[in-house]
Amino acid sequence: MTQVNPEGANPDGATPDEAGRPTRAEAEAAVRLLLRWAGDDPDREGLAGTPDRVVRSYEEFFAGYAVDPVALLERTFEETDGYDEIVLLRDIRLESYCEHHVVPIIGRAHVAYLPHRRVVGISKLARVVEAYAKRLQIQEKMTAQIANTINDVLQPRGVAVIIEAQHQCMTTRGIHKPGVAMVTSRMLGAFRDNPDTRRELLAMLGGSGGSAGV
Protein backbone atom coordinates (compact mmCIF):
# COMPACT_ATOMS: atom_id res chain seq x y z
CA MET A 1 0.00 0.00 0.00
CA THR A 2 1.37 3.38 -1.02
CA GLN A 3 0.82 5.99 1.65
CA VAL A 4 1.97 9.54 2.22
CA ASN A 5 2.49 10.75 5.76
CA PRO A 6 0.12 13.72 6.03
CA GLU A 7 2.37 15.34 8.59
CA GLY A 8 5.41 15.13 6.32
CA ALA A 9 8.96 15.65 7.49
CA ASN A 10 8.77 19.42 7.72
CA PRO A 11 7.71 21.34 10.85
CA ASP A 12 4.96 23.18 8.97
CA GLY A 13 3.39 19.91 7.83
CA ALA A 14 4.30 20.18 4.13
CA THR A 15 4.98 16.86 2.44
CA PRO A 16 8.34 16.86 0.64
CA ASP A 17 7.01 14.99 -2.43
CA GLU A 18 4.14 17.43 -3.03
CA ALA A 19 5.86 20.72 -3.78
CA GLY A 20 2.67 22.48 -4.86
CA ARG A 21 0.62 21.51 -1.83
CA PRO A 22 -0.16 24.30 0.65
CA THR A 23 1.53 24.06 4.02
CA ARG A 24 -0.33 23.29 7.22
CA ALA A 25 0.07 26.93 8.26
CA GLU A 26 -1.52 28.08 4.99
CA ALA A 27 -4.39 25.62 5.44
CA GLU A 28 -5.02 26.87 8.98
CA ALA A 29 -4.94 30.47 7.75
CA ALA A 30 -7.59 29.57 5.16
CA VAL A 31 -9.83 28.17 7.91
CA ARG A 32 -9.37 31.36 9.94
CA LEU A 33 -10.41 33.38 6.88
CA LEU A 34 -13.56 31.28 6.44
CA LEU A 35 -14.45 31.73 10.10
CA ARG A 36 -14.13 35.49 9.68
CA TRP A 37 -16.21 35.35 6.48
CA ALA A 38 -18.92 33.43 8.37
CA GLY A 39 -19.10 36.37 10.77
CA ASP A 40 -17.23 35.07 13.79
CA ASP A 41 -13.96 35.86 15.53
CA PRO A 42 -11.33 33.11 15.05
CA ASP A 43 -9.40 34.48 18.02
CA ARG A 44 -12.16 34.00 20.58
CA GLU A 45 -11.74 31.19 23.11
CA GLY A 46 -14.12 28.70 21.52
CA LEU A 47 -12.55 29.03 18.07
CA ALA A 48 -8.88 29.47 18.98
CA GLY A 49 -8.03 25.84 18.25
CA THR A 50 -10.54 25.33 15.45
CA PRO A 51 -8.20 25.90 12.47
CA ASP A 52 -5.83 23.21 13.74
CA ARG A 53 -8.69 20.81 14.45
CA VAL A 54 -10.25 21.38 11.03
CA VAL A 55 -6.97 20.72 9.23
CA ARG A 56 -6.39 17.54 11.24
CA SER A 57 -9.96 16.45 10.47
CA TYR A 58 -9.40 17.04 6.77
CA GLU A 59 -6.34 14.80 6.89
CA GLU A 60 -8.63 12.03 8.12
CA PHE A 61 -11.59 12.86 5.86
CA PHE A 62 -9.42 12.88 2.72
CA ALA A 63 -6.88 10.19 3.62
CA GLY A 64 -7.79 8.31 0.45
CA TYR A 65 -5.62 10.59 -1.66
CA ALA A 66 -2.58 9.05 0.05
CA VAL A 67 -3.62 5.45 -0.69
CA ASP A 68 -2.99 3.50 -3.90
CA PRO A 69 -6.09 1.29 -4.39
CA VAL A 70 -4.27 -0.86 -6.96
CA ALA A 71 -1.57 -1.79 -4.47
CA LEU A 72 -4.23 -2.94 -2.00
CA LEU A 73 -5.25 -5.73 -4.37
CA GLU A 74 -1.83 -6.96 -5.46
CA ARG A 75 -1.63 -9.86 -3.01
CA THR A 76 -3.97 -12.66 -4.09
CA PHE A 77 -4.51 -16.34 -3.30
CA GLU A 78 -4.83 -19.18 -5.80
CA GLU A 79 -5.55 -22.07 -3.39
CA THR A 80 -9.33 -21.91 -3.67
CA ASP A 81 -10.16 -25.58 -4.44
CA GLY A 82 -11.77 -24.39 -7.63
CA TYR A 83 -14.17 -21.92 -6.02
CA ASP A 84 -15.75 -19.90 -8.82
CA GLU A 85 -19.03 -18.60 -7.40
CA ILE A 86 -19.97 -15.09 -6.29
CA VAL A 87 -17.94 -13.45 -3.53
CA LEU A 88 -20.03 -10.70 -1.95
CA LEU A 89 -19.33 -8.16 0.78
CA ARG A 90 -22.53 -6.51 1.92
CA ASP A 91 -23.08 -3.32 3.85
CA ILE A 92 -19.61 -1.78 3.79
CA ARG A 93 -20.17 1.53 5.55
CA LEU A 94 -18.69 4.49 3.74
CA GLU A 95 -18.25 8.15 4.53
CA SER A 96 -17.30 10.47 1.70
CA TYR A 97 -17.60 14.17 0.88
CA CYS A 98 -19.50 15.80 -1.96
CA GLU A 99 -17.05 17.54 -4.28
CA HIS A 100 -19.58 20.29 -4.98
CA HIS A 101 -20.36 21.40 -1.41
CA VAL A 102 -17.78 19.51 0.75
CA VAL A 103 -20.48 18.01 2.96
CA PRO A 104 -20.86 14.34 3.92
CA ILE A 105 -22.08 11.46 1.79
CA ILE A 106 -22.91 8.64 4.19
CA GLY A 107 -24.07 5.19 3.19
CA ARG A 108 -22.97 1.68 2.36
CA ALA A 109 -21.49 -0.27 -0.52
CA HIS A 110 -22.07 -3.82 -1.71
CA VAL A 111 -19.10 -5.27 -3.62
CA ALA A 112 -19.16 -8.59 -5.49
CA TYR A 113 -16.91 -10.40 -7.93
CA LEU A 114 -16.72 -13.75 -9.71
CA PRO A 115 -13.18 -15.11 -9.18
CA HIS A 116 -11.03 -16.31 -12.04
CA ARG A 117 -8.40 -18.64 -10.56
CA ARG A 118 -7.58 -16.32 -7.65
CA VAL A 119 -9.20 -14.44 -4.79
CA VAL A 120 -8.21 -11.50 -2.62
CA GLY A 121 -8.50 -10.97 1.12
CA ILE A 122 -11.95 -9.58 1.84
CA SER A 123 -10.60 -6.72 3.95
CA LYS A 124 -8.81 -5.45 0.84
CA LEU A 125 -12.13 -4.95 -0.94
CA ALA A 126 -13.36 -2.85 1.97
CA ARG A 127 -10.09 -0.89 1.90
CA VAL A 128 -10.55 -0.13 -1.80
CA VAL A 129 -13.99 1.29 -0.99
CA GLU A 130 -12.41 3.35 1.80
CA ALA A 131 -9.60 4.61 -0.43
CA TYR A 132 -12.03 6.06 -2.96
CA ALA A 133 -14.58 7.22 -0.39
CA LYS A 134 -12.02 9.26 1.56
CA ARG A 135 -11.81 11.80 -1.23
CA LEU A 136 -13.95 14.57 -2.69
CA GLN A 137 -16.42 12.61 -4.78
CA ILE A 138 -19.63 12.26 -6.68
CA GLN A 139 -21.30 8.91 -6.07
CA GLU A 140 -21.43 7.92 -9.74
CA LYS A 141 -17.67 8.33 -10.17
CA MET A 142 -16.86 6.59 -6.89
CA THR A 143 -18.98 3.58 -7.89
CA ALA A 144 -17.19 3.29 -11.24
CA GLN A 145 -13.72 3.74 -9.71
CA ILE A 146 -14.22 0.93 -7.22
CA ALA A 147 -15.57 -1.49 -9.82
CA ASN A 148 -13.01 -0.61 -12.48
CA THR A 149 -10.07 -1.00 -10.10
CA ILE A 150 -11.20 -4.44 -8.90
CA ASN A 151 -11.80 -5.50 -12.49
CA ASP A 152 -8.47 -4.22 -13.80
CA VAL A 153 -6.34 -5.73 -11.03
CA LEU A 154 -8.04 -9.06 -10.29
CA GLN A 155 -9.34 -9.67 -13.83
CA PRO A 156 -12.29 -11.70 -12.54
CA ARG A 157 -15.20 -12.99 -14.61
CA GLY A 158 -17.39 -10.22 -13.28
CA VAL A 159 -17.55 -7.30 -10.84
CA ALA A 160 -20.56 -5.58 -9.30
CA VAL A 161 -20.59 -2.51 -7.06
CA ILE A 162 -23.79 -1.02 -5.65
CA ILE A 163 -23.72 2.06 -3.43
CA GLU A 164 -26.67 3.46 -1.49
CA ALA A 165 -26.07 6.74 0.31
CA GLN A 166 -27.60 9.92 1.66
CA HIS A 167 -26.12 13.24 0.56
CA GLN A 168 -26.15 16.05 3.08
CA CYS A 169 -25.88 18.56 0.23
CA MET A 170 -29.50 17.54 -0.44
CA THR A 171 -30.73 16.80 3.07
CA THR A 172 -29.35 19.80 5.02
CA ARG A 173 -29.30 22.55 2.37
CA GLY A 174 -30.88 23.45 -0.94
CA ILE A 175 -34.01 21.37 -1.45
CA HIS A 176 -33.90 20.01 2.17
CA LYS A 177 -35.16 16.46 1.55
CA PRO A 178 -34.00 14.28 4.48
CA GLY A 179 -34.33 10.53 4.15
CA VAL A 180 -33.72 10.43 0.40
CA ALA A 181 -31.12 7.84 -0.63
CA MET A 182 -29.25 7.69 -3.93
CA VAL A 183 -28.46 4.26 -5.42
CA THR A 184 -25.80 3.70 -8.07
CA SER A 185 -24.45 0.50 -9.60
CA ARG A 186 -21.63 -0.60 -11.85
CA MET A 187 -21.86 -4.08 -13.38
CA LEU A 188 -19.00 -5.58 -15.38
CA GLY A 189 -18.42 -8.95 -17.04
CA ALA A 190 -20.92 -11.65 -16.18
CA PHE A 191 -22.94 -9.35 -13.92
CA ARG A 192 -23.55 -7.10 -16.92
CA ASP A 193 -23.88 -9.72 -19.67
CA ASN A 194 -25.60 -12.65 -17.94
CA PRO A 195 -29.11 -11.94 -16.58
CA ASP A 196 -29.02 -15.11 -14.44
CA THR A 197 -25.80 -14.02 -12.72
CA ARG A 198 -27.23 -10.59 -12.07
CA ARG A 199 -30.43 -12.09 -10.64
CA GLU A 200 -28.39 -14.35 -8.36
CA LEU A 201 -26.54 -11.33 -7.01
CA LEU A 202 -29.72 -9.34 -6.45
CA ALA A 203 -31.25 -12.33 -4.65
CA MET A 204 -28.22 -12.45 -2.34
CA LEU A 205 -28.73 -8.76 -1.64
CA GLY A 206 -32.43 -9.17 -1.02
CA GLY A 207 -31.94 -9.48 2.72
CA SER A 208 -30.27 -6.08 2.99
CA GLY A 209 -32.11 -3.37 4.86
CA GLY A 210 -33.84 -0.62 2.99
CA SER A 211 -32.01 2.32 4.53
CA ALA A 212 -28.76 3.82 3.37
CA GLY A 213 -26.93 2.61 6.45
CA VAL A 214 -26.97 5.98 8.18
Domains and CATH numbers, the chain: 24-64 (1.10.286.10), 76-207 (3.30.1130.10)
Residue 99 known to be catalytic = yes
Strand partners, 186: 161
Residue 116 known to be catalytic = no
Residue 176 known to be catalytic = no
What pLDDT was estimated at residue 23?
95
Catalytic residue among 139, 145, 155, 200: 139
At 174, is the pLDDT very low, low, confident or very high (cuts 50, 70, 90)?
A: confident
Cα–Cα distance, 163 to 124 (Å, whole number): 17
Judge contact between 69 and 149, C-beta under 8 A.
Answer: yes
At 62, is the pLDDT very low, low, confident or very high (cuts 50, 70, 90)?
A: very high
Share of the chain above pLDDT 70, in %: 87
Cα–Cα distance, 31 to 42 (Å, whole number): 9
Which of 125, 112, 131, 7 is CA-nearest to residue 68? 131
CB 139: neighbour CB atoms within 10 A?
Answer: 20
Residue 139 known to be catalytic = yes
Cα–Cα distance, 176 to 205 (Å, whole number): 29
Judge contact between 129 and 177, C-beta under 8 A.
Answer: no
Which is more confident, 212 or 187? 187
Which of 160, 167, 172 is CA-nearest to residue 111? 160
Q: How many residues does the chain have?
A: 214
Catalytic residue among 59, 95, 101, 168: 101
Check residue 22 and report its DSSP letter. P
Judge contact between 180 and 168, C-beta under 8 A.
Answer: no
**Biggest distance spanned by C-alpha atoms of the chain:** 65
Q: Does residue 16 carry a pLDDT above 80?
A: no
What pLDDT was estimated at residue 207?
57
Judge contact between 102 and 167, C-beta under 8 A.
Answer: no
What pLDDT was estimated at residue 19?
67
Lowest mean pLDDT among 117-126, 166-175, 185-194: 166-175
What pLDDT was estimated at residue 171?
86
Catalytic residue among 60, 100, 116, 155: 100
For 66-113, how does the pLDDT look when each residue is reduced to its tens digit (9 = 90+)?
999 999 999 999 988 999 999 999 999 999 999 999 999 999 999 999
Cα–Cα distance, 61 to 59 (Å, whole number): 6
Residue 168 known to be catalytic = no
Q: Give Cα 58 to chain centroid, integer Å.
A: 14
pTM of the predicted model as reported, rounded to 2 decimal places: 0.86
Q: What is the mean pLDDT of the chain?
A: 90
Phi, psi at residue 136, to the nearest 5°? -70, 130
Q: Does residue 194 carry a pLDDT above 60?
A: yes
Q: Does residue 35 carry a pLDDT above 60?
A: yes
What pLDDT was estimated at residue 98?
97
